[in-house]
Amino acid sequence: MKTIVLANAKGGTGKTTVAVNLSACLALHHGKRVLGIDLDPQGNLGISFGVDPRQLTHTSYQLLTAENPDVRDYIAEIKPNLHLIANAIAPDLENRLEASHNRDSLLRLRLRQLKGQYDYVIIDTPPAMRTATMNAIVAADEVIVVVDCGFYALYGLTDLMRQIARVSDAYEKDDIVIRGLLNMFNRGQNLDRDVKKEVSDFFGGLMIQTIIHKNVRLAEAASASKSIIEFDASAPGSFDFLKLSKELLSEYEPEEQKRSATRAK
Ligand SMILES: Nc1ncnc2c1ncn2[C@@H]1O[C@H](COP(=O)(O)OP(=O)(O)OP(=O)(O)O)[C@@H](O)[C@H]1O
Ligand SMILES: [Mg+2]
């Protein structure tokens, strides 16, 4: 079970868009068993999968703050292979979480109950480096920092890297991988090409090669509560996200990917 966290303290960079579409590609296209977890009280991950946050009886914040919960009670099946722990606005639970004992490692502890039941856990985080995001990083094998092509793209990244390093020191997570992913790229814009170079220099060899281009169909898919591969398989956004999922799988499961490429020939 590999746990991947989408993070950036900057708002609106595409964390949720990547969480939704990467989860969908891994589960629906590659047949992996995927659990999405929304740690953002805005509840956008659930909304993008058609879940109404007002109807939720079990949320990720309840899971973190409950005493001895059974994680399975909090999981909803969206599709076969694609499961979700959703979230909703709950200031009282956020305060309770902030005040909890061992507050940063609650999610890691809860996820131990699911060992072996999923291939990938994909966690969406809020645009802030507070307790929810700390929980995601403590539980993570890999953090993907989603960077948008706009002004201040690099703003706050050094801080984010420092925070991740602090958490990985405190919890002895020497092997946590931090990678950059460029989103909303528009080839025709000089600014975007400049940002691409700056972000690639910042992440060096840990930059993900696939770039997610700006594509209005991605925003439309989110409004229709669908992943892009279900909403419009021929959209550029579908192509980008399938490419991203293949790039990541060829790193996570190189043998398996080689075997399926041979089978396809
Ligand atoms: N590649 C893209 N092309 C076009 N629109 C995009 C793309 N990526 C994201 N968007 C749109 O940009 C907006 C912000 O994206 P998203 O909600 O995924 O960002 P976020 O980082 O999760 O935001 P927050 O920090 O508020 O949680 C959404 O309306 C989304 O549909
Ligand atoms: Mg979001």
- Model confidence at 265, pLDDT cuts 50, 70, 90, reads low
Q: What is the CA radius of gyration of the chain?
A: 18
Mean pLDDT, rounded, for 191-213 = 94
Q: Is pLDDT larger for residue 190 or for residue 246?
A: 246
CA atoms within 13 A on the CB side of 258: 5
Give 9-36 pLDDT, tens digit per residue.
999 999 999 999 999 999 999 999 999 9
259, two tokens: 């075997």
* Residue of 5, 10, 16, 196 to mutate, ligand 1, most atoms within 8 A of C-beta: 16
pTM for the predicted model, two decimal places: 0.96
Task: Answer whether 224's CB lies under 8 Å from 254's CB.
Answer: no
* Residue of 17, 47, 218 to mutate, ligand 1, most atoms within 8 A of C-beta: 17
Mean pLDDT, rounded, for 140-154 = 92
Q: Which pLDDT score, from 0 to 100, does residue 174 have?
A: 86
Mean pLDDT, rounded, for 138-154 = 92
Task: Answer whether 126's CB lies under 8 Å from 38's CB.
Answer: no
How many residues are given for the chain?
265
- Model confidence at 228, pLDDT cuts 50, 70, 90, reads very high
CATH topology of domain 2-264: Rossmann fold (3.40.50)
Closest residue by CA, ligand 1 atom 28: 219
pLDDT at 109 over 80: yes
Q: Which pLDDT score, from 0 to 100, does residue 188 have?
A: 87
Q: The tokens 């809020």 sit on which residue?
A: 126
- Model confidence at 151, pLDDT cuts 50, 70, 90, reads confident
Ligand 1 surroundings by CB, under 6 angstroms:
11-17, 40, 44, 127, 183-184, 212, 214-216, 218-219, 222
Residues 6 or more apart whose Cβ sits within 8 Å of residue 183: 13, 14, 17, 18, 146, 147, 148, 149, 211, 212
Give the lowest-confidence range in 48-57, 113-122, 220-229: 48-57
Quote the CA–CA distance of 87 and 45 in Å, as a whole number: 8
Mean pLDDT, rounded, for 74-103 = 94
CA atoms within 13 A on the CB side of 205: 1
Q: Which pLDDT score, from 0 to 100, does residue 262 have?
A: 76
3-class SS string, the chain: CEEEEEECCCCCCCHHHHHHHHHHHHHHHCCCCEEEEECCCCCHHHHHCCCCHHHCCCCHHHHHHCCCCCHHHHCEEEECCEEEECCCCCHHHHHHHHCCCCHHHHHHHHHHHHCCCCCEEEEECCCCCCHHHHHHHHHCCEEEEEEECCCCCCCCHHHHHHHHHHHHHHCCCCCCEEEEEEECECCCCHHHHHHHHHHHHHHHHHECCCCCECCHHHHHHHHCCCCHHHHCCCCHHHHHHHHHHHHHHHHHCHHHHHHHHHHHC
pLDDT at 257 over 80: no
Mean pLDDT computed over every residue of the chain: 94
Quote the CA–CA distance of 85 and 71 in Å, as a whole number: 9
- Model confidence at 154, pLDDT cuts 50, 70, 90, reads confident
Q: Which pLDDT score, from 0 to 100, does residue 76 have?
A: 96
pLDDT at 152 over 90: no
Ligand 1 atom closest to residue 17's alpha carbon, by position in its atom list: 18
Out of 154-168, 181-195, 229-243, the most confident range is: 229-243
**Percent of the chain residues past pLDDT 90, beyond the cut:** 84
Domain boundaries, the chain: 2-264
Quote the CA–CA distance of 199 and 207 in Å, as a whole number: 8
Closest residue by CA, ligand 1 atom 31: 219
Distance (Å) from CA 165 to ligand 2 centroid: 23
Mean pLDDT, rounded, for 232-252 = 97
Q: Which pLDDT score, from 0 to 100, does residue 192 have?
A: 92
